[in-house]
Amino acid sequence: MTGRAGICLCLAEETLEADLRHVTALRKRIDLVELRVDHLKAQERASAGRLPRLAGVPAILTVRRTRDGGLFNGDERERLALLDRLVDAGFAYVDIEEDLQAPGLEARIAGAGARIIRSLHDFSGVPHDLSSRLAGLARNRNEIPKAAVMPNTCAELARILHLFKAHQGKEKVFLGMGDIGFPTRVLAARLGSAWCYSSPTAECIAPGQIDPIALEEEYRYRSIGPDTGIYGVIGNPIMHSRSPGIHNRGFAALGRDAVYLPFLVPDLEGFWAVADALEIKGLSVTVPHKQAVLAGVRDRDALVEATGACNTITRKRVGAWQGTNTDIQGFLIPLRAAYTGSIPSSLAATVIGAGGAARSIVYALASIGAQVLVLNRTLEHARAIAADFRVEYAGLDAAGLQRARRHADLIVQTTSVGMAPNTSADPAPELRFSGREIVYELIYAPQATVFVKRALQAGCRVIYGRHMLLEQAKRQFFLFTGAEYPSDLSEFLADDPD
């Protein structure tokens, strides 16, 4: 393949007919396919040679062993014989493993006009000797080295990114699997991989794969090149985030050479090396890093200093992060709309939670003169916020909920309890709604949390988290690009129930 990185569709159904249905549905979005013969039923494997002729795009032949993440658990001689029978069927590539010693098969592959993909897989981590193994992976110029490893920390992801640079300009397919490694898939062209592996359905064949439609439409895969500016959101969890859809739509509408990605960050300290390796220009910051991120931010504006929380960082050069907080206006704009433009000065509000998001909300409410009560299960955390903003506090217990009855014009839920994937949880199951409250839920995935459903059943008005998400994102977009977020997109996203 030549040009920018392609999209490879992995075919792993039990029948060839089912695989071909995926090819037909997605042919306009893909550049090649990989037929996972090890996923086919035993009686289907004999017909696997039909695929190259019917696919209409170059095809990779793969029969993966169980120890390498595949489903073929038979005798190795049987596997090699199966490969040998299929190499003449017109496959453009044949994927064989790093340790395979089969000169006869390799000669047959070359004689059939196909290229060998020499692959290395580690589903448990990033091998300490990965650099040396990569250097010797391809045994001749006609082989393409492929490495798929599983970073468990951002520090390990940074190691992978440095290896990309070490092998810059060389034909290869490198990727980090799983959610932490996800950016290496989307950034295949930027990092120098020949293609990105994708799945035809939501069920991934390998950890971290996504479908070609999402690659093209949500992540702008076809427009990414060596000079594409990288932005993103950091958090843990993060793959549920709707922020990529918001920002990437905006970049596309304005014709900007930029992409916005989710970065799962279990180790914030290790992430800074990732940010430097990718030359990231701007980041949204979400749970649980809104306070911890301040240790890496040199310049902080008055909002960050006042709240002690930061949800946006940008930089013009390496090592010079600037921090601000767009959550405050993002929170207040939908609240004003709920009160038809003017928030009552006598507003009595209860804020559930005491993390970075809660700090921004309490500051916002205190700044408009609201009477605020902070409820949190860990009383010390609630006390700390109350001291900083001169508001009331209590535990998230019977006594605290009794006090909340006097602060019930507005109930703001700021914790991550109820967020995907733990959608059955309720941050305050003992809290009873009268139906007169306005309930403001900061979680947006799912839109209707258990907490929100209870509020609706009681007759409360609800402000959904997606409205705050969009408003704070619009300000972030301006900080990232210097341009206002497109108004037509803003209206579309505000009305989108999904």
- Compute the distance between CA of residue 178 and CA of residue 35 in angstroms, rounded to an integer: 21
Catalytic (active site) residue 316: no
- Rounded (10°) angle between helices 243-254 and 465-481: 40
- Compute the distance between CA of residue 437 and CA of residue 434 in angstroms, rounded to an integer: 7
Q: What tokens were used for 272?
A: 């800074």
The residues, ordered by sequence, that sit 6+ positions from 92 with a Cβ below 8 Å of its Cβ are 32, 52, 58, 59, 60, 114, 115
Q: 433, 471, 268, 279: which is closest to 350 by C-alpha? A: 433
CB 120 within 8 A of CB 142: no
The alpha carbon of residue 382 and the mean position of all alpha carbons in its chain are separated, in whole angstroms, by 31
What letter does residue 65 receive in the DSSP assignment?
B
- Compute the distance between CA of residue 91 and CA of residue 114 in angstroms, rounded to an integer: 6
The dihedral through the CA atoms of 261, 264, 268, 273 has a sign that is negative
- Which class for 468: exposed (0-12), middle (13-18), buried (19 or more C-beta within 10 A)? buried
- Compute the distance between CA of residue 151 and CA of residue 176 in angstroms, rounded to an integer: 6
Among 146, 172, 281, 290, the active-site one is: 290
Catalytic machinery residues: 290
